[in-house]
Amino acid sequence: MKCYRTMAILLLSVVAAQPAQSEEKSPANNRLSLPSEFRGRFLELCDLAVGELNKEITPYVEARDRKGETPKTHHMPFFEDSFGVRALAVAYDMTGEKKYLDACTRWADHVVDCQQRMIPKGAYFTNYGYARQPGQEKGGWYVADSGSIGMGVLAVAVRTADAPKRDRYLNSIRSFARLVIDNYVRTSGGITDGLWTYPDEWWCSTATFGALMFLAHDETKDPEYLTVALGATDWLNRHDFHKDEKPAFEAFNPGMVFYCFEFYAAALPHLDAGSPRRTAAEAHIAEAFRWFAQNQKGRGAKSEWNYFDGSTYMSGNPYLMYVFAQHLPQYHDQVAEADKELRYVTGLLYADGKKPRATKLQVWELMTWAMMSYAERLSPGSLFHASR
């Protein structure tokens, strides 16, 4: 009997270690074979990211780091790192290689250590040299960037087998959530951006914190998180994405598209088919796909965006397209278009025939968002999965 019980436990462990959904089971990916080079490129980028995240972590100083490089240390904003961490977590799912999870864990431990010294309690340190530092009582900190950081911490939490460490990460997210819910969520459903100069709701803090709340609810089942996330859905649904609108809403641009539509990617599984929320969300998603077609240079668009100068978000577009193709059958044919754009971005990263210079801020940005796109293409759904 003991032998059979042991075998059952082992089988369950193997099942739990698998990604949320493999490409073979993906209805979108069944319509298009996986490009043969994608896995190798993804893991190569992951190895570069591991090398970066294992360096000494120092604060990002914009005047210095946007223009140059300091190769001996890692000094990027934590919200930028969080996307690489989430992709590395999927690399761990795919390969079981401990180096990927170890790099994620080291980063998450550092983030939580900084958070525990922040004032007010629960705030994340964004790793900006010019912002509020751990232990300081003055200076800005930002809900928007912190929402992305929280998603990185959550991705590590759901994969760690160390129960005390997992609890530490989840408590970090709970502490941040409590701070924001108690102070920055408005009755409109919109969310302000923490301690900065603009007092009203903002699309970016609403989108990133709202997405975190959907994912945190999936893991913790806390109903308050779902309530906040659905309120954020209502706030975003009311806006016209083509217009600059008050309060603080910008018209279509690479950053707005990435953050707002990552929110919708996280929201879709929670919106009932045919409901007013789902209908409004799908209408916005249709507009996003038109914007993708008009602006993605990998598909031949003659857009204004410089992928290495302020528009590095463009490398995250394929990730969003793959997610929507999973959930919405009308976009299954967009997988091929997303593949074109991801190949174009990869061509930019490897333009000189060498591996990307991950020590350079713009390269790190373009690379980590591209890693998200690769992760979703190779292992659909794994970026969002809860622990099992």
92 forms beta bridges with: none
15, 376 in Cβ contact below 8 A? no
pLDDT in tens, 12-60: 333 334 444 333 344 444 447 899 999 999 999 999 999 999 999 999 9
- Poorest-pLDDT segment among 186-200, 223-237, 351-365: 186-200
Q: Which position has the higher pLDDT, 68 or 127?
A: 127
* 199-227: pLDDT as tens digits: 789 999 999 999 999 999 999 999 999 99
30 in a structural domain: no
Band the pLDDT of 321: cuts 50, 70, 90: very high
Owning domain of residue 327: 37-384
Start-end of H helices in the chain: 2-16, 27-30, 38-53, 62-65, 78-95, 98-115, 143-157, 163-183, 203-220, 223-237, 254-267, 276-295, 317-327, 334-349, 361-378
**Distance in angstroms between the alpha carbons of the first and the last residue of the chain:** 25
pLDDT in tens, 236-293: 999 999 999 887 899 999 999 999 999 999 999 999 999 999 999 999 999 999 999 9
For 24, phi then psi, to 5°, come to -65, -30
What is the DSSP track for 83-103? Answer: HHHHHHHHHHHHH--HHHHHH
Q: For residues 124 and 175, what is the distance between their CA atoms, to the nearest angstrom?
A: 10
26 falls within a domain: no
110-121 confidence digits (pLDDT tens): 999 999 999 999
HSE, CB side, 13 Å, CA atoms: give it for residue 214: 24
Measured between alpha carbons, how far is 218 from 381 in angstroms, rounded to an integer? Answer: 13
Q: Residue 133 domain-assigned? A: yes
The token pair at 95 is 């390969």
The secondary structure of residue 336, as a DSSP letter, is: H
Please indicate, yes or no, if residue 8 is contained in any of the structural domains. no
Residue at 11 is within a domain: no
Residue 17 lies in a domain: no
Cβ pair 379, 90 in contact under 8 A: yes
The alpha carbon of 363 is separated from its chain's Cα centroid by a whole number of angstroms, namely 17
Answer whether residue 55 is part of any domain.
Answer: yes
Q: Is a pLDDT exceeding 70 seen at residue 3?
A: no
Dist. CA 38–CA 299, nearest whole Å: 18
Question: Does 24 fall in a domain?
Answer: no
CATH code (residue 205): 1.50.10.20
Mean pLDDT along residues 123-129:
95
Structure tokens at 281: 């969300």
Q: Is 221 left (phi over 0), alpha (psi -120 to 50) or beta?
A: left
Q: How many domains does the chain have?
A: 1
Contacts made by residues 247-254, CB under 8 angstroms, sequence distance 24+:
247/190, 247/200, 247/201, 247/202, 248/198, 248/200, 248/201, 248/202, 248/203, 249/203, 250/203, 252/287, 252/291, 254/295, 254/305, 254/310, 254/311, 254/312, 254/313, 254/314
Residue 233 pLDDT more than 60? yes
- Closest CA relative to residue 153, chosen from 143, 144, 165, 162: 165
Question: Would the pLDDT of 82 be above 70?
Answer: yes
Average pLDDT over residues 322-335: 97
Q: Locate 70 and state its tokens.
A: 């300091």
pLDDT: which is higher, 66 or 29: 66
pLDDT confidence of residue 175: 98
Distance CA 291, CA 277 (A): 21
Residue 79 pLDDT: 97
